[in-house]
Structure 1
Amino acid sequence: MFFEKKINPSPHSSPANNDIDIEVAPHTANTNNGDGQTSLKRGLKSRHVGMFSIAGAIGTGLLISSGTALSRGGPGSMLIAYSFVGVLVLNIMSALGEMAVFMPMDKGFGGYASRLVDPAFGFATGMNYFLKYVVLLANNLTASGIIMQYWLPNVNVAVWVVSFAVVVIIINFMPVQYFGETEFVAACIKTVTIVGLMILCLVIDLGGSSQGRIGFRYWNHPGAFKEYLEPDSTGRFLGFWACVTNASFAYMGSEMVGMTFGEASQPWKTIPKAISATFWRITFFYVGGVFCLGLVVSSSNDRLIDATKASTGAGASPFVVAIMDSGIAVLPHIINGCLLVFVLSAANTDIYVASRTLYGLAKDSYAPSLFKFTKRSIPIFSVAAAAAFFLLALLNINSGSAVVFGYLVSLSTILGLLNWVSILVTYLFFQKGMRVQGIRREVLPFTGHLQVTRARITLFFTVLIILTSGFSSFVHKFDPITFVVNYVGIVLYVFWFVSYKFIRQTKFVGFCEMDITTNIVTKQYVEELERGIS
């Protein structure tokens, strides 16, 4: 259990000198522990939350679809793109952290959007986030089938989709601490595997295989910056931008750690540590991983998943391609097993995040009250609704798994980018409301350096990536399927917002009326708590 402080700005206070009255009240997130409760339990420990984003985010983005980035832009473009998007992720996580530590909520990102911007914006944010993760669920289950085809190429992917879906669904119906332990173990496996793959790539590059010393051979030929769709400098820029879009998908799960904040104990300690550690871990794994990968796999290798539309086997993972090309026996099978753990962990996380988002929507009366019903602190109906979307992955029955995988990547990327926009817009409203109400940033327990400016710059580039994500559908010949897959998410996002605003006649939350004083944690209170003052 923890306590919050309530800040009551004096009606006569000015922005420069605001009087703050402190009211300490017990947090009630864990009340009603019997069946039929509507609250979640703070059963996730600091180590669970700290590793959660790694467990959920490191999956198909790095291990399989990075082959698409390499084949389109080359190793140089891929490295720069992943570094650039990594900075954007840091800015988003820091902005989210300022809000989440100050006002911990168990309603997800939609809860912040409703409280600080507009109920219609909260509804659109929540629905979009839910849709993103059920699409990612199908994406990761499809990836699991692709991996299994390495061993059993004649078995339909749908068989593996259903089999693995049953496993991850069962885990999500268990108490949250079991979910936390499962993802903690998965994150440890991922950490060891990624570090091992990076070391292996360096060993191969330095001459530890039958290929001899590779060095920067593939950076020189075919080249560090590959042409994509167009020749010369235009093609190289398009290749780079294709890598930016791909990197956005790869980093997409980094913000999902925010969904655990409502079930995290001592959020003023847990959240800052999780945000700081998450960025550095993800940056090390992703930026370091793609750098090592670019050394040992040629961007013209026809086994990369985007090099040929026929690629369906797990050998399409660029790391497995590197091992196979080096002539190392047995190891590809071991790595494939690890990759399977990766994508199933991500699928497990997808159900968790989608169900908690739906739970938050129900608590805000955006979804039927059935979805906020919990049994043993598990929102069972929300979990069931989220899990049902695994059926999307069964599109593989009639289409090639690589094709379906590509469509799901594009759709989930645009949905994820829109979620980033929601977080940043909500944060900027939050900061404006603080200024208008005369609440100084000094009261925040966690702050980022130049965070407001960083948020604005990140919002600009995120919107730019959204608008240009489907550029390939316009080059040479218009591709309607690619266009729809890349932009239908925007239409849905606008539809959620406009329809709810029209039906409920909601209004934007005014900066003066914005509720940023209820159930909050201040820096002064944390200092008092650490000194043992209650």
Structure 2
Amino acid sequence: MSDKGKEEQLFSTVPSDSQSRSSQLDSDEKIENVVLNKDFKYRHVNMLAIAGAIGTGLIIGSGTALKRGGPGSLFIAYVFTGFLLLIVLMSLGEMAAYSPMDKAFSGYATRYVDPALGFAAGWNYFFKYAIVLSANLSALGIIIQYWRKDLNVGIFIAVFLVAIIFINWFNVKYYGELEFWCALAKLLVLALCFLVCLVITCGGSPTGKTIGFQYWREEAFTEYLVKGSTGRFLGFWACCIQSCFAFVGSEAIGVVFGETPNPKKNIPRASLQILFRIGFFYVLGVFLLGLVISPKNKLLATASGSNASASPYVIAFEVAHIKVLPSFINAALIIFVGSAANTDVYLASRALYGLAKDGQAPKIFLTLNRHGIPYNACLFTSMWGLLAFMNCSESSATVFGYFSSAVTVFGILNWLNILLAYNGYFRAIKAQNVPREEVVFRMWGQPYMSYFATFMISVITFFNGYNAFIGKFDYKQFITTYVGIVAYLVMIFGYKFWHKTKRVDPKTAVLDRSYKELYGE
């Protein structure tokens, strides 16, 4: 079918050919029939499920966690939070396979819990990625300054922002193709890092030193902030918080599900890949890292920034006198961060589209171009990237740092939104007597696994700012940590008060209408 034919198919909601796009969006029925193209290929979805969310949280941020908690705490924390993430994503996969929709997470929260929760979930997701976009653009400039410190970071911010807008303008299959190769490159880089770590710990580095489990025996659980067992627990908790932020973004595969062909077949396949990603790349990655570098290493203690000099893997290579890899890792970080920035625009624009489809954002964000892309949503999201230019001056960079930190907690709240939506979905399935065998993809132990994950993620969210209370009270840390939670609650109760919304009755909740009516499969 030609591009023109596809466009007519996307926007044709009534028999008349004379209606304009704006008039087609005037009723709820017509809005429901404006749908995104399902042009992702299975290999796109599969690769994005495996490596799409792997970013600097693992290759750089894990060094901070290792320094605070030690290799033992780091490994256990990643296993624990990885298990919680597995529950979140498998729950999402079950909902998406049974009742796929192109409204991102807010659609499920609106359908199964309360429109107020859907409103907060959607805008929470948008703001998280809109502001992280500017942070990633800044990081790209800092990475390139690793080689060219004489050039202003604003040059690279502008270049990458224009490139990202260009990529997100065309059919989603091109985004999927680009991210497929970026994800493949990330896998190869991580595999190389893991292999080198294994060689180093076995004594194959230029130093000839065999490390083995030396650092595990000497300082597996280090003290953080205070002495004694309390300090070791705080070290473990610091690793849990950092691992959550390393995992944040993994739920993005749920947005991709909305543009996936044959969702009842491809979504279960992609969901099962998540276990491989968590176990191999994250858990194995931090395990090997804990073998090759001591948490007391001075280079690790002074590492800061977003380029290769801050990566614990690079520090381990430098300690082992391997001179070639640091620049290689820095070049690889361009792929890691560039892919993340590109994905930020994709995810935030789809969140806006989903909100507009539920009447919780301006309808202008529903308008698709001839490639089936919600281009107004993409352009509006890209505008937030201009915040990155604040980092061109030191004072503005400080303010922007607080701004970015304030919304980081939104990432964990996304997991909580998914679980709350799943709990409502499960109640609806039970209340309407839907046989479990009719659910094409099911996670074991439900709904108790979901209840457990909901409780633990709530605890992590609440105690995320624990270090603001240790020693002297740090009001800046307190504000930047908890303002995101306050904003989230204000959105929920503010919308509920203004629109007088009611909690969805499980007996009348819509289950798979969008699948049958919109997709007809």
Query: Scaled by the length of structure 1, what TM-score is found?
Result: 0.87
Decide which moves more: 353-362 or 325-334.
Answer: 325-334
| Aligned with residue 251 of structure 1, among 219, 240, 247 | 247
Q: Which residue of 1 aligns with 2:11?
A: 32
Q: Is residue 322 of structure 1 aligned with residue 316 of structure 2?
A: yes
In the TM superposition, 1:231-242 aligns within 5 A as 231-242=227-238
**Whole-Å separation in 2 of the counterparts to 1:300 and 1:161:** 35
In the TM superposition, 1:7-18 aligns within 5 A as none
- Percent same amino acid at aligned positions? 46
**Whole-Å separation in 2 of the counterparts to 1:331 and 1:377:** 42
| Aligned with residue 514 of structure 1, among 494, 509, 517 | 509
Amino acid at match of 1:102: Y
Q: Which residue of 2 aligns with 1:358?
A: 352
What's the offset of the Cα at 1:430? Answer: 1.1
Change (3 A) 1:273 1:312: closer
What secondary structure is seen at the aligned counterpart in 2 of 1:492? helix
Change (3 A) 1:57 1:30: farther
Q: Is residue 492 of structure 1 aligned with residue 482 of structure 2?
A: no
In the TM superposition, 1:185-224 aligns within 5 A as 185-211=181-207, 212-221=209-218, 223-224=219-220
Cα deviation code 1:222-273 (max 9, x no counterpart): x111111011111110010011010001111111100011110000111011
**Whole-Å separation in 1 of the counterparts to 2:347 and 2:264:** 21
Q: Which runs of 5+ in 1 are unaligned?
A: 2-27, 522-528
Change (3 A) 1:158 1:321: farther
Cα deviation code 1:304-346 (max 9, x no counterpart): 3xx3386565311111111222212222111211121111111
What secondary structure is seen at the aligned counterpart in 1 of 2:299? coil
Q: Which residue of 1 aligns with 2:37?
A: 41
Change (3 A) 1:417 1:49: same
Q: Which residue of 1 aligns with 2:498?
A: 503
What's the offset of the Cα at 1:63? Answer: 1.2
What's the offset of the Cα at 1:120? Answer: 1.0
| Aligned with residue 458 of structure 1, among 428, 445, 453 | 453
**Whole-Å separation in 1 of the counterparts to 2:389 and 2:310:** 20
Q: Is residue 70 of structure 1 aligned with residue 71 of structure 2?
A: no
Q: Which residue of 1 aligns with 2:336?
A: 342
- Retained in 2: the 8 A contact 1:101–1:446? yes
| Aligned with residue 435 of structure 1, among 417, 430, 433 | 430
What's the offset of the Cα at 1:75? Answer: 1.2
Q: Which residue of 1 aligns with 2:161?
A: 165
Amino acid at match of 2:214: R
Change (3 A) 1:216 1:29: farther
Cα deviation code 1:428-482 (max 9, x no counterpart): 1111122222222221011111121110000011000001111011110111221
Q: Is residue 61 of structure 1 aligned with residue 61 of structure 2?
A: no
Cα deviation code 1:364-396 (max 9, x no counterpart): 111111111000201101001111111333342
**Whole-Å separation in 1 of the counterparts to 2:420 and 2:314:** 40
- Retained in 1: the 8 A contact 2:50–2:273? no
Q: Is residue 122 of structure 1 aligned with residue 101 of structure 2?
A: no
Q: Is residue 150 of structure 1 aligned with residue 142 of structure 2?
A: no
Q: Is residue 132 of structure 1 aligned with residue 128 of structure 2?
A: yes
Amino acid at match of 2:210: R
Q: Which residue of 2 aligns with 1:101?
A: 97
Amino acid at match of 1:78: L
Change (3 A) 1:201 1:238: same
Decide which moves more: 321-330 or 143-152.
Answer: 143-152
- Retained in 2: the 8 A contact 1:139–1:408? no
Q: Which residue of 2 aligns with 1:263?
A: 259
Decide which moves more: 494-503 or 459-468.
Answer: 494-503
Decide which moves more: 388-397 or 371-380.
Answer: 388-397
Q: Which residue of 1 aligns with 2:30?
A: none
Q: Which residue of 2 aligns with 1:424?
A: 419
Amino acid at match of 1:287: V
**Whole-Å separation in 2 of the counterparts to 1:445 and 1:92:** 17
What's the offset of the Cα at 1:54? Answer: 4.0
Q: Which residue of 1 aligns with 2:465?
A: 470
**Whole-Å separation in 2 of the counterparts to 1:402 and 1:201:** 35
**Whole-Å separation in 1 of the counterparts to 2:202 and 2:422:** 46
- Retained in 2: the 8 A contact 1:249–1:412? no
What's the offset of the Cα at 1:80? Answer: 0.7
Change (3 A) 1:161 1:385: same
Cα deviation code 1:392-414 (max 9, x no counterpart): 33342334999789757744541
Q: Which residue of 1 aligns with 2:224?
A: 228
**Whole-Å separation in 2 of the counterparts to 1:484 and 1:120:** 25
Q: Where does structure 1 differ by over 6 angstroms across 4 or more consecutive aligned residues?
A: 400-406
Amino acid at match of 1:32: F
Aligned residues: 495
RMSD of equivalent CA atoms: 2.6
- Retained in 1: the 8 A contact 2:303–2:309? no
**Whole-Å separation in 2 of the counterparts to 1:424 and 1:93:** 9
What's the offset of the Cα at 1:425? Answer: 0.8
**Whole-Å separation in 2 of the counterparts to 1:101 and 1:312:** 37
**Whole-Å separation in 2 of the counterparts to 1:421 and 1:154:** 44
Cα deviation code 1:37-78 (max 9, x no counterpart): 843101001111111244431111101111111111111111
Amino acid at match of 1:250: A
| Aligned with residue 326 of structure 2, among 327, 332, 347 | 332
Amino acid at match of 1:214: I
Cα deviation code 1:254-293 (max 9, x no counterpart): 1110001111000011101111112312321011111111
Amino acid at match of 1:215: G
What secondary structure is seen at the aligned counterpart in 1 of 2:10? coil
**Whole-Å separation in 1 of the counterparts to 2:288 and 2:279:** 13
Which structure carries more helix by proportion? 2
Q: Which residue of 1 aligns with 2:278?
A: 282
Q: Which residue of 2 aligns with 1:381?
A: 376
**Whole-Å separation in 2 of the counterparts to 1:57 and 1:477:** 36
- Retained in 2: the 8 A contact 1:56–1:350? no
Amino acid at match of 2:321: G
Decide which moves more: 404-413 or 203-212.
Answer: 404-413
What's the offset of the Cα at 1:499? Answer: 1.6
What secondary structure is seen at the aligned counterpart in 2 of 1:31? helix
- Retained in 2: the 8 A contact 1:54–1:254? no
Q: Is residue 445 of structure 1 aligned with residue 437 of structure 2?
A: no
Q: Which residue of 2 aligns with 1:5?
A: none
Amino acid at match of 1:213: T
**Whole-Å separation in 1 of the counterparts to 2:303 and 2:193:** 26
